[in-house]
């Protein structure tokens, strides 16, 4: 195989003069035609900057190539150095020879142009096609990424399509002119697990069909295993290790690679669940949190007069309980109602019906026995308050004064969650993401709660930070006998922390039981599909199945009541919903409409 791209001594920096800040310090790698290289690293590793340097988009972000060569073999057979090529030349290479797809499909497409106009622009710019020829080519490009009803979709604007659909449009656009190299910068990070699986499958198929080289940027080792031929691991702007996929995954040399592979959560089909808690049988202990028939419906309106057309059944009669010292993970994809369930427990949304009770056996319990840690530690701390004020808020809110005892508790908790003692006078922006989330945990613990609701509490963090925060959470739980309700979409993280798992789909629990049982032998069709979509280390270069099932609408006509639940018990602690006749359900909807 011939070399498609050969990068040597690449250095990239931002700013000029005294303010020059080098970000990439000398990267070398080769890519053969048709080969896939995965660049793996966490935020700040320089992986994205490296990618953006190859097609020189980095120039427009304030960056500059300081040194090094990037020799690229063009379709015409000439070798040119991309590091020094003129802007004119680069315009022909970008799009023509090197395509690129980005992390956020929602913002990466122009909101005021139809997707047809945006794809055909690629043909127009690189092939000079216009009119009917461009339209035909665009249609073909959309069909190639398996978009059904492509002719009609051409006239759609980006906001009318889902994230997964838009990412396919992006891929169609990047591959429109058969580039010899495709750069994918975290293309699935913003998407749900099952959509991620579809996009990965599509990428793998298209790569085979077109023989294009692929540079795949990611933080997720599980995805790497599925698609890469070679792997390059980056940290703080430097390459720590590179080599063939199997060698890197099975015999990593560098401690950082070993850390990424071992310490970081990876999904392993329920083999590594926690075993530090035995669920007491009913009657032996009373649960700390008991939720019965929790239902949240939002009124839905339409038209100018905001006529009621029914309700969004976001959460539909959900029951579960959590024992002291136990973690129940609620898993599901966006729109499944998992966050709404969590927010209902905190009083942030009003349940339409259902009850929950919290039993706190300890003396001197405070008014709010349920506390919550939010997903985004950057948004959940008021930037204008210092740490002392942040930690004081729950105390003040429960009607108490901040006295010496409270201050002592602040100091103790800060130390316990691993923050420096001098933190108390600092502001949120002075801390890293992981530290902020520790701060949020300390804040939630200030009033000594019995239940901690963790809403995607580690999703916004870097993978290696995730592991440390999870360890902290596990230690705290064991010390304080806290009950955790852990809401997450990330199966790998769930496997690390959950004792039990409840799978939420379209607002209802479809399966619930011991983590080991649910993750290793899922019974419900949806759970199976969800788990099959999770990338793992074991499945190397596997071809995923293209599955385009979508979540059914949650909008129900006024007065609609869902049919009675039926459950099948399939283990000591494992239950699965038996789905009724789907046609019957549909008729019901139709009746109510009439």
Partner 1 sequence: MNYLIRRLVTFPLVMFGVSVLVFVAIRLVPGDSITAMLGTEAGLLTPEQRQSLAVYFGLDQGWFSQYWRWLSGVFSGNLGISVTYGKPVLDVILERFPLTLELAVLAMVIALGIGLPLGVFAATRNEKRSDLAVRIFAMIGQSTPSFVIGLLIIFALSAGFGILPAMGQFVPFLEDPLGNLSQLILPAMTLGLSFTASVTRISRSAVLDVLGDDYVRTARAKGAPKARVIWRHALPNALIPVVTLSGVEFGYLLGGAVLVEQIFALPGLGRLVLDAILQRDYALVQGSVLFVALNFMIVNLLVDLTYVMLDPRIRLGGRA
Partner 2 sequence: MKAFFQSLLRHPSGRIGAAIVLLYIIVALLSQAGLTPYDPLKQFRIERLQGATLAHWMGTDMFGRDVLSRLMIGIGQSFLVAFSSVGLAAVIGTLLGLTAAWFGHLWDGLVMRLMDVLLAFPAILLALLFIAVVGPGTFTSILAIAFVYTPIFTRVVRGPALSIKTRDFVDAARSFGSSTSYILTRHLMLNLVAPLTVQVTLALAWSLLTESGLSFLGLGTQPPNSSLGLMLADSVNLMEMAPWLLIFPALAVMLGILGFNLLGDALRDILDPRMRRVVA
Could you list the residues that contact partner 2 (CB under 8 A)?
A: 14, 48-49, 52, 61-63, 343, 346-348, 367-368, 371-372, 374-376, 379-385, 389, 393-394, 396-398, 440, 443, 447
The single residue among 3, 6, 14, 157 that binds partner 1, judged by CB under 8 A, is 157
Q: Is 364 in the site for partner 1 (CB under 8 A)?
A: no
Q: Look at residue 111 and give the partner it binds from partner 1, partner 2, none, a contact being a CB closer than 5 to 8 Å depending on partner kind.
A: partner 1
Q: Is 96 in the site for partner 1 (CB under 8 A)?
A: yes
Nearer to partner 2 (CB atom), residue 396 or residue 411: 396
Q: Is 19 in the site for partner 1 (CB under 8 A)?
A: no
Nearer to partner 2 (CB atom), residue 348 or residue 569: 348
Q: How many angstroms separate the CA atoms of 369 and 489, rounded?
A: 25
Q: Is 504 in the site for partner 1 (CB under 8 A)?
A: no
Enumerate residues 6+ apart whose C-beta is below 8 A from 282.
none
Q: Where are the alpha helices (DSSP H) in 386-432?
A: 387-397, 404-416
Q: Is 152 in the site for partner 1 (CB under 8 A)?
A: no
Q: Is 473 in the site for partner 1 (CB under 8 A)?
A: no
Would you state the structure tokens that stand for residue 534, as one six-digit string? 């999770």
Provide long-range contacts, Cβ within 8 A and 24+ apart, for 578-587: 579/525
Q: Look at residue 411 and give the partner it binds from partner 1, partner 2, none, a contact being a CB closer than 5 to 8 Å depending on partner kind.
A: none
Does residue 167 contact residue 153 with C-beta atoms inside 8 Å? no
Closest CA to 547 of 559, 532, 536, 562: 532
* Candidate segments 153-161, 377-385, 468-476, 495-503, binder of partner 1 by CB under 8 A: 153-161
The H or E element that residue 201 is part of is helix 193-210
Q: How many angstroms separate the CA atoms of 475 and 211, rounded?
A: 49
Q: Read off φ and ψ for residue 578, nearest 5 degrees.
A: -95, 120
Min CB(197)–partner 1 separation in Å:
22
Question: Hey, is 255 helix, strand or coil?
Answer: helix
Q: Is 64 in the site for partner 1 (CB under 8 A)?
A: no
Give burial (CB, 10 Å; 0-12/13-18/19+) of 228: buried
The single residue among 38, 48, 49, 94 that binds partner 1, judged by CB under 8 A, is 94
Q: How many angstroms separate the CA atoms of 434 and 436, rounded?
A: 5
Q: Look at residue 100 and give the partner it binds from partner 2, partner 1, none, a contact being a CB closer than 5 to 8 Å depending on partner kind.
A: partner 1
Nearer to partner 2 (CB atom), residue 343 or residue 524: 343
The single residue among 60, 132, 250, 594 that binds partner 1, judged by CB under 8 A, is 60
Nearer to partner 1 (CB atom), residue 112 or residue 364: 112
Nearer to partner 2 (CB atom), residue 47 or residue 508: 47
Nearer to partner 1 (CB atom), residue 189 or residue 268: 189
Give burial (CB, 10 Å; 0-12/13-18/19+) of 95: buried
Q: How many angstroms separate the CA atoms of 421 and 419, rounded?
A: 6
Residues near partner 1 (CB under 8 A): 55, 57, 60-61, 87, 90-96, 99-100, 102, 104, 107-114, 118, 121-122, 125-126, 157, 159-162, 170, 173-174, 303-304
């Amino acid at each position: 195989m011939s070399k498609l791209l050969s990068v040597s001594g690449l250095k990239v920096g931002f700013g000029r003069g005294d303010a020059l800040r080098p970000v990439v310090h000398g990267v070398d790698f080769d890519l053969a035609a048709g080969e896939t290289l995965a660049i793996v690293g966490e935020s700040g590793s320089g992986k994205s900057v490296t990618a953006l340097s190859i097609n020189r988009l980095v120039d427009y972000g304030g960056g500059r190539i300081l040194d090094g060569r990037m020799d690229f073999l063009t379709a015409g057979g000439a070798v040119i150095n991309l590091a020094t090529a003129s802007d004119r030349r680069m315009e022909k290479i970008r799009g023509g020879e090197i395509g690129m797809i980005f992390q956020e499909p929602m913002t990466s497409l122009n909101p005021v142009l139809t997707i047809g106009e945006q794809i055909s622009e690629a043909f127009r710019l690189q092939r000079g096609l216009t009119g009917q020829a461009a339209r035909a080519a665009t249609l073909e490009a959309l069909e190639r990424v398996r978009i059904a009803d492509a002719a009609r979709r051409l006239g759609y604007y980006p906001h009318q399509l889902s994230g997964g659909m838009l990412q396919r449009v992006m891929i169609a656009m990047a591959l429109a002119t058969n580039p010899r190299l495709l750069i994918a910068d975290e293309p699935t990070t913003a998407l749900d697990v099952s959509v991620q699986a579809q996009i990965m499958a599509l990428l793998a198929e298209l790569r085979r069909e077109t023989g294009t080289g692929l540079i795949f940027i990611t933080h997720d080792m599980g995805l790497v295993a599925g698609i890469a031929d070679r792997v390059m691991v980056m940290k703080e702007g430097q390459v720590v290790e590179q080599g063939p996929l199997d060698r890197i995954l099975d015999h990593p040399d560098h401690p950082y690679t070993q850390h990424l592979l071992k310490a970081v959560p990876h999904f392993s089909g329920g083999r590594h669940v926690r075993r530090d808690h035995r669920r007491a049988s009913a009657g032996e202990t009373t649960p700390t949190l008991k939720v019965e028939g929790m239902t949240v419906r939002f009124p839905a309106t339409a038209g100018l007069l905001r006529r009621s057309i029914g309700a969004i059944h976001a959460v539909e009669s959900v029951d579960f309980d959590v024992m002291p010292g136990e973690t129940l993970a609620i898993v599901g994809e966006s729109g499944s109602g998992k966050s709404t369930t969590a927010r209902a427990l905190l009083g942030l949304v009003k349940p339409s019906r259902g009850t929950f009770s919290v039993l706190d056996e300890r003396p001197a319990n405070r008014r709010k026995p349920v506390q919550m840690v939010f997903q985004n530690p950057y948004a959940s701390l008021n930037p204008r308050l210092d740490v002392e004020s942040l930690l004081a808020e729950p105390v003040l809110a429960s009607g108490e004064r901040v006295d010496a005892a409270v201050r002592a508790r602040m100091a103790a908790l800060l130390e316990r969650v691993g923050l420096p003692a001098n933190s108390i006078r600092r502001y949120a922006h002075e801390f890293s993401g992981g530290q902020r989330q520790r701060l949020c945990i300390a804040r939630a613990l200030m009033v000594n709660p019995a239940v901690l609701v963790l809403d995607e509490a580690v999703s916004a963090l870097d993978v290696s930070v995730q592991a440390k925060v999870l360890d902290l959470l596990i230690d705290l739980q064991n010390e304080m006998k806290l009950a955790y309700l852990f809401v997450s979409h990330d199966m790998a993280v769930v496997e690390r922390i959950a004792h039990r798992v409840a799978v939420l789909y379209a607002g209802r629990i479809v399966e619930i039981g011991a983590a080991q049982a649910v993750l290793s032998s899922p019974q419900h069709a949806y759970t199976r599909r969800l788990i099959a979509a999770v990338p793992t280390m074991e499945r190397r270069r596997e071809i995923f199945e293209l599955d385009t099932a979508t979540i059914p609408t949650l909008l129900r006509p006024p007065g609609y009541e869902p049919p009675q639940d039926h459950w099948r018990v399939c283990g000591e602690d494992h239950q699965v919903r038996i789905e009724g006749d789907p046609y019957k359900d549909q008729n019901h909807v139709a009746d109510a409409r009439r």
